[in-house]
A and B are shown apart, each in its own frame.
Chain A
C-alpha cells in the first residue's frame, strides 16, 4: 500500500513538474512578447538610468548588447539561452545582476508572505471553525460580515488605514522602509527587520484570511450535517468532541490545500502591501521595474512569481493526493 502511494507521488510530481515547465515556457514567451511590443524603449530607459550623457558609439554598443536590431525570435532565444545558463541580465535601475536582486528581495518577500500566510491560515481556520460551530448565531453573523467587508477592501487601502492608525496616530511603527533610515543594510538587526515586518504582514494576512475562513465554515457545516456526525452524537459525543474527533479531521486538509493554492493572491497582495509600506521585496521591485522600464528585472520577477505560484499549486495537488485516503484509493 505504501509503495503505491510513493509511486503515485512520483508520478504526480513528474506530471505536474512537466506542466510547470510548459507553463513557465509559455509565460516567458508571453512576457517577452509583451515587453517587446511596449512603446517604452528599454535602451532609452537604461541610458536615462545611467544619468550621464552617452556618446553615439556607447549607445550603439548598448543597443548591440540589448539586441535591438535583431529579429524578436532571435532575441528571445538568446535571452532564453542566457536565462537557462543562470544569467538573467542586468537590472537597469539597480545596476546589478537581476538574479542577485531576485534572491535578495525574495528573501524579504518570503519573510513577509510566510508570516502573513501562516497568520491568515491559523486565524482563518480558527474563525471558520467558530463560524461553523455557531452557525447562524451571533458569532457567525458578525465574523461573516467582517469577512465580507474585508474582502471588499483594496489591500493597499487597508494598509493605508493601518499606517494611519498605528504609525501616524499611535506612533508604534515606522512609516515605511524595512530598515531604519541611514543604517546600512548589513547592520540591520533581525529585531529591526521584524519590527518593520509586522504591519505589512498584518495587512496581508487580514486580506487573505476571509477566504479561508468562509471556506472552512462551509466545510465544517457540511461535516456537522453529515450522517456520521449524527451517529457520533447518538454515541454520546458532545459538540466539541465531535469537532475534535471528526470536524478537524475532515476539514483540515481541504483548508491546507486551499492555502497552498492561494499563492497567486498572496503574491498579488504582497505587491500592494510592499508598495504601501515601502518594504524592499519583490513587490516593490516589480512596480519600480514596470514604472521605470527595467525590462530584465520585470521579466525576471514575472517568471519568478509564476514559479512561486506553480510550486504552491504543486504542493496543493500532491497533498490532496497523498493524505486523503479516499482519493488515495480512487487513484489506484
Chain B
C-alpha cells in the first residue's frame, strides 16, 4: 500500500477480535473493532467521538500494543510509514507514542506520584515535571502524594502530565478531561493544541462531542467498533446538513443544543453484528444493499464516510 509521507499514523482495515476457546476445538471470534480506517497527520488533533461500548478504548490499546493475549489484530497500522509491529510498538511506546489513560486506577497505588510521572527512563525528567505541574496548577506537594490521595481533577492532570513529560510525537488521550474544572480542562487541551502546533499529533478519545468540536481539527465518529465518518470540525459547526453519515447526523441532533433528540434503537453487541452496514438496523435510509454488504469507505467533500447514501 502506498504511504503518504505526511501521515503520522495510518490505520487501515483494522479489526480486533477476541478468540475464545471452548473445550475441544470450538472457537469463536468476537469482533470488537471491524475494518477501521483512520489517518492522523502531524500537527492535528483528531477526536474520536462515540458512545460508550463502541470500542474507543480498545483502539487505543491496539495502537499501543497492550491488548489482552487473546485479542487478534488484523489489518495494518503504520507509524511514519513503517508497519507498527509488536517489536516497534515496544520500542516506541512511552517514547514516541504516549497514552493518557482513563482513570486513577492506571497509577500504581503504592508509588508516589512524582516517581510515577517521571517514569522508568533515566535520567529522570525532574525539572520538566516541575514546570508541567506548575502549569497544570498542581499543588507543590503533589509529587509526594500517593495516587489515592489525589482528587479526581488532580488525578486527571497527573495522568495528562505522564504523556506530556515524554517527547512523544503522538499522544493518545483516553477521556482526559472529565473531573477537571473548566479552566483546567481548557489548560490541558491548550497544551495538546500547542503540541499539535509544534508538529506533533493528538488522538483525543471522548464521548463529549462539544469538546471534540471545540478543540479538534477533525472528528471521527465511532459506531460499533468502526469509524462511520471522518469530517473536518467545520462540518460539525456548520450543522446537520454538512455531515455525511446518518449516524453522525443523529448524533448531532441528539446534542442538547440541537434538539436533544435520542437515536432510536441500540448499538449492536460485539457478538452479533449485522452482516451489512453496522448502522443499518437503526438507519432511516437503509436499503436492501445496506443489509447485504458493508459499505466501503469513500471520500466525500473532504471527509470520509462509510455509507452508500451519504451526501
Contacts and interface: CB of A to CB of B under 8 A. Distances in A.
Interface of A: 226-228, 230-238, 241, 245-246, 249-250, 324-326, 329
Interface stretch (B3-11, B87-95, B275-283, B301-309): B87-95
B148 A234 contact: no
A228 B93 contact: no
Contact of A234 (B101, B103, B107, B108): B101
Contact of B66 (A230, A245, A246, A324): A230
A228 B146 contact: no
Given A228-B109, A245-B120, A234 B99 contact: yes
B98 interface: yes
Given A228-B109, A249-B110, A325-B148, 16 more contacts: A231-B101, A232-B108, A233-B66, A234-B66, A235-B166, A236-B121, A237-B94, A237-B120, A241-B120, A245-B108, A245-B111, A250-B108, A250-B110, A326-B109, A326-B110, A326-B146
Interface string B87-130: 00011111100110101011111110000000111000000000
B66 A325 contact: no
From B90, B95, B110, B148, name the one whose CB has the most chain A CB atoms within 10 angstroms: B110
B248 interface: no
B162 interface: yes
Nearest to A235: B94
B151 interface: no
Nearest to A225: B68
B149 interface: yes
Contacts of A228: 105-109
A232 B90 CA distance: 12
Contacts of A233: 66, 93
Interface in B276-293: none
A171 B78 CA distance: 67
Nearest to B60: A234
B110 A227 contact: no
Contacts of A232: 108, 120
29 contacts: A227-B101, A228-B108, A228-B109, A230-B61, A230-B106, A231-B101, A231-B106, A232-B120, A234-B94, A235-B93, A235-B98, A235-B120, A235-B162, A235-B166, A236-B92, A236-B93, A236-B94, A236-B120, A236-B121, A237-B120, A241-B120, A245-B108, A245-B111, A249-B111, A250-B108, A250-B109, A250-B110, A325-B110, A326-B148
A124 to B, nearest CB: 21
A323 B309 CA distance: 63
B308 to A, nearest CB: 38
Nearest to A230: B66
A141 B257 CA distance: 59
B142 to A, nearest CB: 15
B188 interface: no
How large, as a class, is the contact surface on chain B? 20 to 34
Nearest to A241: B120
B97 to A, nearest CB: 9
B64 interface: yes
Contact of A227 (B95, B106, B148, B162): B106
A236 B64 CA distance: 9
Contacts of B99: 231, 234-235
From A235, A238, A324, name the one whose CB has the most chain B CB atoms within 10 angstroms: A235
Shortest 4 CB-CB contacts between residues of A and residues of B: A236-B94, A235-B94, A231-B106, A234-B99
Contact of B107 (A231, A238, A326): A231
Nearest to B111: A249
A330 to B, nearest CB: 9
From B105, B106, B108, name the one whose CB has the most chain A CB atoms within 10 angstroms: B108
Contacts of A238: 90
A254 B137 CA distance: 36
B193 to A, nearest CB: 23
Contacts of A246: 108, 111
A181 B105 CA distance: 62
A226 B101 CA distance: 13
Interface in B144-202: 146, 148-149, 162, 166
A238 B90 CA distance: 8
A249 to B, nearest CB: 5
A232 B66 CA distance: 10
Contacts of A326: 109-110, 146, 148
A246 B107 CA distance: 10
Contacts of B107: 228, 231
A237 B118 CA distance: 13
A329 B149 contact: yes
B256 to A, nearest CB: 32
B251 to A, nearest CB: 29
Contacts of A245: 108, 111, 120
A325 B112 CA distance: 10
Nearest to B107: A228
